[in-house]
Structure 1
Amino acid sequence: MHPAPSVIIFTTLSGLGFGLLAFLGLGMPAVTGWVAFVFYLIAYALAVGGLLASTFHLGHPERAWKAFSQWRTSWLSREGCTAVAALLVMGLYAAGAVFWDADWRLLGLLGAVLSIGTVFTTAMIYTQLKTIPRWHSPLTPLVFLSFAIAGGALLAGQESLAPWLLALAGAIQLAYWAKTDKALAHSGTDIGTATGLGNRGSVRAFEPPHTGSNYLLREFVYVVGRKHALKLRVIGFGLGFALPIALMVMPFDSVMMKHLMAGVAVLLHIAGIACLRWLFFAQAEHVVGLYYGKR
C-alpha cells in the first residue's frame, strides 16, 4: 500500500504515547507535581498528535467524528471510542498526580488497560483485512502491542525493564517477517482468482486494464524493491532495537552521561519505529495488485 506520511506518523507516535500512558497508569514511574506534568505532557503530545495526524489521510477529516457511531462493527470506531476513554481516564489520573500528589490506583489501572486497548484496536484495523494477507496474521497485533509497550518502557525511564521489552519486540518483528513474507503466495490468491479466469488454465496479464493511473493503483499498489526493503529492515531494526538496547546496557560512570544516552536511545528508537512502520505499509501486498499484474 502507499505509505502515507500521516498514517506512519499516527502509528508511530500514538503507539509510543499510549505505551507511556500505560506505564504512568501503573505508577512506573510514580511521579507527582511538575515531574508528572512533564511526563504526561510528552505522553499526550505523542498520543493526541498521532491521532490528529491520522485524520489527514481521510478524504473529509471534518467527518471523522461520525466514525464513533459504528463501534459495533468497525475497529476504526472502536479505536476512536477506546482512545477517547483512555485519554479522559488518564487525564483525571494525571490531574490527581500533578495537582494533589494523589495516586488514584484503580483509575490508573483502568487508564493503563484502556491505553493498551487503544493500541490493540489500532492493530485490529489492519489485522482484519483479508485482502492484505501480510497483515491478516495474529502476529500483527503482537507487533503493535510489543512496540507500544517497549517504547513506553523506554520513555518511562524503566532502565532495567526496557532492554528486555525491546529485545522481545525485536524478536516479534523478526517472527512477523519470517511468517508473513510469503503470506500472499500462500493465500491461494493469484491472477487467476483475481480475474475469475483461473478455471480456464494459466492466466497472465496481456496489458494493463487502462493506460492511466487510478485510485486503486495510487492507494493500494506500491512496490518496494527487495534490495531496498532489506536495507530498510536492517536500518529500522538497528535503530529501533539493537542500538537502544546497547546504549541502555552500557556501563557509564557518570549519571548525567547515562541519562544522556537514554535520551539518545529514545530518539533512535523513534526513528527506527518510523522506518519499520513505513515498511509495514510499503510492503503490504493488496490482492487488487494481482488484477493489474503488479504482483
Structure 2
Amino acid sequence: MHPAPSVIIFSTFSGLGFGLLAWLGIGLPAVTGWVAFVFYVIAYLLAVGGLIASTFHLGHPERALKAFTQWRTSWLSREGWLAVLALLVMAVHGAGLVFFDQHWWPVGLIGAALSLGAVFSTSMIYAQLKAIPRWHQKLTPVNFLSLSIAGGALLAGQVTWAIVLLLVAGAVQLATWLIGDGAFARSGTNMASATRLGTIGKVRAFEPPHTGTNYLLREFVYVIGRKHSFKLRIIAIMLMAVVPVILLLLPFHHIEALLAVLSHLAGVLAARWLFFAEAEHVVGLYYGKR
C-alpha cells in the first residue's frame, strides 16, 4: 500500500491522544486545576489533530460527515462515532477536574472505554480487509491498542506502567511483523485463484495489463526492498520501545522524559510507515507484482 503521510499521522497521533485520554479517564495522573488542563490540551491536540489529518487523504473531504450514517456496517463510521463520543465525554470529565477539582469516576471510566474503543475501531478498518492478508489478523488491533496504551502511559508520566507496557508493545510489534511476513503465502491467493482460471491449467501473465501506471498501481502496489524493510524495523523497534525504556530507567529528569516521548513518537511513525508500505494487496497479482 502507498504510505500516505496523512493516514500515518492520523493513526499515530490519534492513537497517542486517545491513549492519554484513557489514562486520564481512570484517574492517572491524579491532577486537577491547571495541571489537568495542560494534560487535556495535549491529549486533545493529538487526538483531534490526528482525526483532522485523516481527512486530507479523502478525495472529497467535504463528504466526510456522510461516513457517520454507515455505523451498522462500517468500522470507519464506528470509529467516527466513538471518537466524537469519547471527546465529548472526556470534555465533561476534564471540566470536573479543571473547574471543580472533582474526578467523576463514572464519566472518566466511560470516556476511557470510548477512547480505547475509537482506537480499536481504527485498527479494525485495516484488520477486516481480507484483500490485505498482512493486516487481516488478530494481532492488528492488539498492535494498535498496545501502542496507544503504552504511549498514553508515557505521556501521562506513569513511569513503571510505561516501562512494562512499552516492552509489551514492542513484543507485539515484533510478533505482528513476523506473523505478517507469511500471511500472504498462507492466504493461498495467487494468480490462479485471483483470476478463477486455475481449474483449466497453469495461469501466468502473458503481458502487462497496460503500458502505463494507474490508480491501483499507485495506491495498492507499493513495493519496499527487503533490506530497507529490515533496517527500518530495527530503527522503529529501537526508537519506539528500547530507547524510551532505557531513558525511563535513568534517574528521573524532565529532559529524559521528553526525549523518551519524542523517541517513542518517532518509532511509532516509522512502524506505521512500514505498516502501510509492507502491506501486499492481492490486486498486485493482476499486475504480476506479487
CA distance in 2, matches of 1:116, 1:94: 17
Residue 286 (structure 2) pairs with residue 291 (structure 1): yes
How far the C-alpha of 1:102 sits from its partner, in A, is: 1.3
Counterpart of 2:194 in structure 1 is: 194
Counterpart of 1:22 in structure 2 is: 22
Counterpart of 1:114 in structure 2 is: 114
Q: Deviations over 1:213-267 (max 9, x none)?
A: 11111111100000000000000000000100111112x2xx5xx2210110000
Counterpart of 1:247 in structure 2 is: 247
CA distance in 1, matches of 2:198, 2:242: 45
Counterpart of 1:232 in structure 2 is: 232
SS of 1:202's partner is coil
CA distance in 2, matches of 1:64, 1:149: 27
CA distance in 2, matches of 1:113, 1:128: 21
Residue pairs, 1:182-221, within 5 angstroms: 182-221=182-221
Counterpart of 1:57 in structure 2 is: 57
Percent identity (aligned): 68
Counterpart of 1:274 in structure 2 is: 269
Residue 96 (structure 2) pairs with residue 101 (structure 1): no
Q: Deviations over 1:166-200 (max 9, x none)?
A: 00001111111121111011101001112222223
CA RMSD, Structure 1 to Structure 2 (Å): 0.8
Report the residue type matching 2:180 in the other structure: T
Q: Which moved more, 1:26-35 or 1:187-196?
A: 187-196
Counterpart of 2:141 in structure 1 is: 141
Q: What is the TM-score with the length of structure 2 in the denominator?
A: 0.98
Counterpart of 1:260 in structure 2 is: 255
Report the residue type matching 2:141 in the other structure: P
Counterpart of 1:68 in structure 2 is: 68
CA distance in 2, matches of 1:225, 1:140: 22
SS of 1:56's partner is helix
Report the residue type matching 2:266 in the other structure: A
Structure 1 stretches of at least 4 aligned residues deviating more than 3 Å after TM superposition: none
Counterpart of 1:46 in structure 2 is: 46
SS of 1:103's partner is coil
The number of equivalent residue pairs is 290
Structure 2: tracts of 5 or more residues without a match: none
Q: What is the TM-score with the length of structure 1 in the denominator?
A: 0.97
CA distance in 2, matches of 1:226, 1:36: 45
